[in-house]
Amino acid sequence: MANRPNRHYLRSLPQNARRALVRDARRGGVTLVLGAGVSLSRGLRSWPDLVRAMWRRVTGDERLPDWMGAGGAKPHPLAYQMVFEELEHALRAEEIKAARDNGGELEAAERASERFAALLAQELYRDFADGPRSGDTLDVLARLLRQEQASPTPRIERVITFNADDLLEIEANRGHSYQSAPVVWAVPRASFHPRRGGGAGGRSPIQVYHLHGYLPNVRNRRASPDTLVFTDAQYWRSLANPASFANRVFAGALQDSHCVFIGLSMEDVNLMRWLGLRHVEFEDDFLARYGAPGTSTKNVWENLRDNANRHFWITTEGGDPSRIIASHLERRGVRTLVLEGWGAPFEELIEECFPAPAAAD
C-alpha cells in the first residue's frame, strides 16, 4: 500500500509532464541544462569517482575519511566540495613551503591552483574513450544540436552545462571546424561573448555556457582552468556576487526559456538555491498582481502553479525513488519526467520534442 502513491506518480504524472515538455519544446525557447550524467558513457569519472581519484593522487592515502562516506558512514552534505577544497589547500601548503625554502611565496597560491586544475583534468579524462557512440545520451544531444543549429529557427536558445569537460563540443562539432565553422561554441567565462554568425552553414553556433569552468581534453585558448567551481570556496565566489557570470546566465535562462535538466541528480545545493530564488521572486510578483485586496483569489494558487511550472527534469525510475526531489522541484517550477531508462527511451523523447524539419507540425 505504501508504494501505491509512487506507482501512481510514475504512471500518470510523468505523462502530463511529457505532454507539456513536447508542447513547449516544439514552440521553442529551450535551454538544455546538462550534468555529469551525459558524459559517463564515454568513460569520464563520476563525481564520487573523481573525488576518490583526486584524494589518492594528492594525499597518497587509499582510504577515504569517514566524513566522505568511507566504511558506510553517512557523508557530509557538502562532502565533495569540502574535499576538493582540502586537496587544493594541501597543494597550496606544499607550494608555500617550497616557496619559503627558495625565498619567495607570492605566486604559491597561483601555482597550487594550476596544479589542482592540471591534476583534475588528468583524472577526469583518464578513462576517456574518444569516438562516436551511437545511441548514448551524448550522441543523442549532439545530433539534436546539429539539427537545431542547421535550422533557420532553432528551438534551442542555449546550453548550460555544469561539466568542465569538452565532450559535448567534440561530439556536436564532429565533421565541422571548431574554430572556423562550429555547431556549438563554448562560453566559459565572463569576458567571453556569444559568437554571432560564423558557425556551421554561416549561421550562429549554439552557445554552450560552462558555469563550472572549462578543461578541454586538448587544451585550447578557450580553456578556463581559473574559473573552476569544484571547491566550496569556488562555489561561493561564483554565487556571492549577484551579477556574477554564473548568476546572470542561469537567472536569464530561468526567466526567458524552458530549462530542461538532463544528466543531473538535482542534489546540488546551489542549483536548488537558484531555483528557489527565482521561484520566490516569481511568486511574490504573481501574488502582487492577482492577490491584491479586492482581487478575486479563486484558483489563485492553482494559477500560480500552472504559470510557474515551465521547466523540466528528465530522470529515470531509480533517480528519485522516494519522490522527495520531484515534490520539492514541483514547488520550484520544475516538472519531473520519469523515463524507463536512458538510451532508446531518451532518444524517442528527444525526437518527439524536436521533430526533424520534414516532420515538424
**Residue 254 near residue 274 (C-beta atoms within 8 A):** yes
Name the helix (H) or strand (E) containing 312. Answer: strand 311-316
Q: What is the pLDDT of residue 288?
A: 84
Closest CA to 163 of 133, 112, 206, 121: 121
Closest CA to 207 of 222, 220, 196, 194: 194
Q: What is the pLDDT of residue 293?
A: 61
Q: What is the pLDDT of residue 64?
A: 75
pLDDT tens string 139-169: 999 999 999 999 999 999 999 999 999 999 9
C-alpha span between 138 and 159 (Å, rounded): 13
Instruction: Give me the mean pLDDT over the 253-261 stretch.
Output: 97
Q: What is the pLDDT of residue 239?
A: 84
C-alpha span between 16 and 116 (Å, rounded): 45
If you average pLDDT over every residue of the chain, what do you get? 87
Strands 258-262 and 184-187 come out as unpaired
Q: What is the pLDDT of residue 12?
A: 42
- Longest CA–CA separation in the chain, Å: 75
Q: What is the pLDDT of residue 306?
A: 80
State whether the Cα torsion 116-119-123-126 is positive or negative.
Answer: positive
212 confidence band (pLDDT: 50, 70, 90): very high
Distances (CA, A) of 177 to 32, 157, 181, 183, 185: 23, 21, 5, 9, 11
C-alpha span between 53 and 182 (Å, rounded): 33
Instruction: Give me the mean pLDDT over the 167-179 stretch.
Output: 93
| Residue 49, number of CB atoms within 10 A of its CB | 15
C-alpha span between 224 and 214 (Å, rounded): 5
Instruction: Give me the mean pLDDT over the 233-239 stretch.
Output: 88
Any residues with CB less than 8 A from the CB of 97 and at least 6 apart, and which?
none
Closest CA to 263 of 120, 154, 183, 159: 159
Please report the domains of the chain, with CATH numbers, ordered by start residue.
Answer: 4-42+133-355 (3.40.50.1220), 47-124 (no CATH)
Q: What is the pTM of this model?
A: 0.90
- Residue 316 phi/psi, 5-degree rounding, is -115, 170
pLDDT tens string 294-337: 555 557 777 888 888 899 999 998 888 778 899 999 989 999 99
pLDDT tens string 60-86: 887 777 767 666 666 777 788 888 999
